[in-house]
Amino acid sequence: MNFVATIGRAFLDALAAIGRLSMFAAVAIGHVFRPPYYPRLIARQMIEIGYFSLPVVALTTLFSGMVLALQSYTGFARFSAEGAVATVVVLSMTRELAPVLAGLMVAGRIGAAMAAEIGTMRVTDQIDALTVLSTDPYKYLVVPRLIAGATMLPILVLVGDILGVFGGYLVSVYKLDFNAAAYLRRTWDYLEMIDVVSGLVKASAFGFLVALTGCYHGYNSKGGAQGVGQATTNAVVSASILILIFNYIITELFFAK
């Protein structure tokens, strides 16, 4: 009986947490469409998310493309389908790997930083100070991060798509002795607009989720350093889980027959 009660309590807690996050998201989205706006803060967050995340996303997608080509080749060679490597690499990168890997990397880098920064502001009364100084904390802290997250991750993913395909090309041409022109032609011929667009839509959603969870956990952090640390961990974990869940949902929306 106690076991059932524990599961029930955990389920209710999870529902309550989803409800609180949804309420936070609804309020924040409401503020996105109402002035005042803070263009300098939006630009700063865009640089923080877009520019400074570029190296980690670039390395991740480049090596993922390289591994993908190598694995596909060794697997497909078993039934003489090596020619499909280029197609597998480009479709996997654009549809799945670039958005998901970039999302997870940015969750670790940016989501954690957002939760830590806003959490520190919460526990040192800086968020209350914003309210007292006639500035809405949602507009000043949350909205710029949401806008920057939703707009910059697609750009990162676009770069990631290109580097991932390039990684596959490098391994295929220089290690597996594929013909360079034939590889590129196969990559281009089988790529459709929806493959790239679906990846960019995912990226935008993931960027929004990373910023949302970072802001939510930071905004609601309690206590001192321990509370901020907990908020940081929760932000990364919940962003990662939401990215994987929404990855399935968006894939279903785009490609389900």
Partner 1 sequence: MTTPKIQLQGVKKRFGEKVVLDGIDYTLPEGESLVVIGGSGSGKSVLLKCILGIIRPDAGSIKIDGEETVGVRGEDREKIQSKIGMLFQGSALFDSLPVWENVAFRLIQGQGMEKKEAKEIALEKLAQVGLAPPVAELYPSELSGGMQKRVALARAIASEPQIIFFDEPTTGLDPIMADVINDLIVACVKKLGATTISITHDMHSARKIATQIAMIFNGKFIWAGPVSEIDRSGNAHVDQFIHGRADGPIKMAVRRP
Site residues for partner 1 per CB under 8 A: 120-121, 124-126, 128-129, 131-135, 140
Alpha-carbon distances of 146 from 70, 106, 206, 218, rounded to whole Å: 37, 13, 11, 14
Using CA atoms, how far apart are residues 247 and 93, in angstroms rounded to an integer? 14
Peptide bond into 154 cis (omega under 30): no
Phi/psi for 124 (5° steps) reads: -105, 20
Nearer to partner 1, 125 or 192 (CB): 125
R_g over Cα of the chain = 21
Nearer to partner 1, 121 or 236 (CB): 121
Nearer to partner 1, 61 or 232 (CB): 232
CB of 205 to partner 1, least distance (A): 28
CB of 23 to partner 1, least distance (A): 16
CB of 134 to partner 1, least distance (A): 4
Nearer to partner 1, 120 or 240 (CB): 120
CB of 140 to partner 1, least distance (A): 7
Q: Report which DSSP code applies to 84.
A: G
208 neighbors 150 (Cβ within 8 angstroms): yes
